[in-house]
Amino acid sequence: MRNAALTLGLIGGVLAMIVGFFGYGYTEFIDKNGEIGDLAGQVDHPMVIRMASFLAPILAIAGAAMARSQNIPAGVLMLASSLGIYVAFGFNVFTMFPIAMCGLGGVLALSARQPDAH
């Protein structure tokens, strides 16, 4: 279970990083160039998007890295990453896999009772 948590956390973290690049870049682009009519407007709270874009992938990847040795903190970090992505970006076609993978990785890490058999 810990190996599955590690794998899911890494994949979810990389996908969250991709979503984060676009989210952070969008808010910066609108700040620098202004809104484009009805096509592209600034979000209500750009700092929330920027912080989640930065922190969520780090939490997921750090949780995945700790999944084999420290399963409880790893699970908490991956679940926090999943929650951060959901709060900042909502649940949509671009965020469903990072949310699901980080969330499932967190649950698996928390439910692992003993080290995986080798």
Determine, yes or no, domain membership for 25.
yes
* pTM exceeds 0.85 for this model: yes
Determine, yes or no, domain membership for 116.
no
Determine, yes or no, domain membership for 117.
no
Give 58-90 pLDDT, tens digit per residue.
999 999 999 988 889 999 999 999 999 999 999
Domain containing 55 equals 2-33+44-111
Domain count, the chain: 1
Confidence (pLDDT) at 41 = 73
- Residue pair 69/90 in contact (Cβ under 8 Å)? The answer is no
Determine, yes or no, domain membership for 15.
yes
Confidence (pLDDT) at 115 = 63
Determine, yes or no, domain membership for 118.
no
Confidence (pLDDT) at 118 = 56
**What's the token pair of residue 63?**
């949780």
Please give the Cα distance from 78 to 85 (Å, whole number).
11
Average pLDDT over residues 91-101: 95
Does the pLDDT at position 112 exceed 70?
Answer: yes
Return phi, psi of residue 116, to 5°.
-65, 145
Determine, yes or no, domain membership for 38.
no
Please give the Cα distance from 45 to 56 (Å, whole number).
17
Determine, yes or no, domain membership for 99.
yes
